[in-house]
Structure 1
């Protein structure tokens, strides 16, 4: 009976460790990039080069050190705007959740890392 408990305990510990390892690998994949891909952001922006709008790395550089940047960019994503990067307007993304917007903005401000 004790042996069964040890085996069951080992299996449970192995499953829990496996869960944490899987979670760690999921954390390596940038959530911001996944959300950007699924919300048409990549149609106008790229990570490292200008498309219709600035690259995410250009945005990160422009707002580096600006404590208000997360709020400014979240508002820009939600409500759209024009004039900061030229005359082409940024469309509003009203259907994106605030949590998704925060995740994308945080990812962009970190320089849009691939991991």
Structure 2
């Protein structure tokens, strides 16, 4: 019985994690992030997985990138600037950045 409970617990954690990942992908779609980015491939902006690699281990990345999502930025990934995203709240930006930085 204990083994079944442990397996059920692990399975539920896995579903919660994947549900959270899907919810954040849905948020990225809803906020038009996917117009310029994708998870795996460069479009206009870098692939989200490339962003995660670039900022891995940078303790300031979350705050820095959340600000960039809302206010825009340029120069880090090439000549095409990232526009400001007034439709994205600070809380949503933090959620999106946490998701992006979690990608492997």
- Aligned partners of 2:101 and 2:51: how far apart in 1? 7
- Asked which structure has the greater CA Rg, the reply is 1
Between the two structures, name the one with larger relative contact order (CA 8 Å, sep ≥ 6).
1
Residue 28 of structure 1: CA displacement? 2.4
Count of residue correspondences: 91
TM-score w.r.t. the length of structure 1 is 0.72
User: Which consecutive aligned stretches of 4+ in structure 1 deviate over 4 angstroms post-superposition?
Assistant: 24-27
5 Å matches for 1:20-35?
Answer: 25=15, 27-29=17-19, 30=21, 31-35=23-27
- Aligned partners of 1:93 and 1:53: how far apart in 2? 14
Q: Which residue of 1 aligns with 2:83?
A: 91
- In structure 2, stretches of 5+ residues that fail to align are 1-11
| RMSD between superposed Cα atoms in Å | 1.8
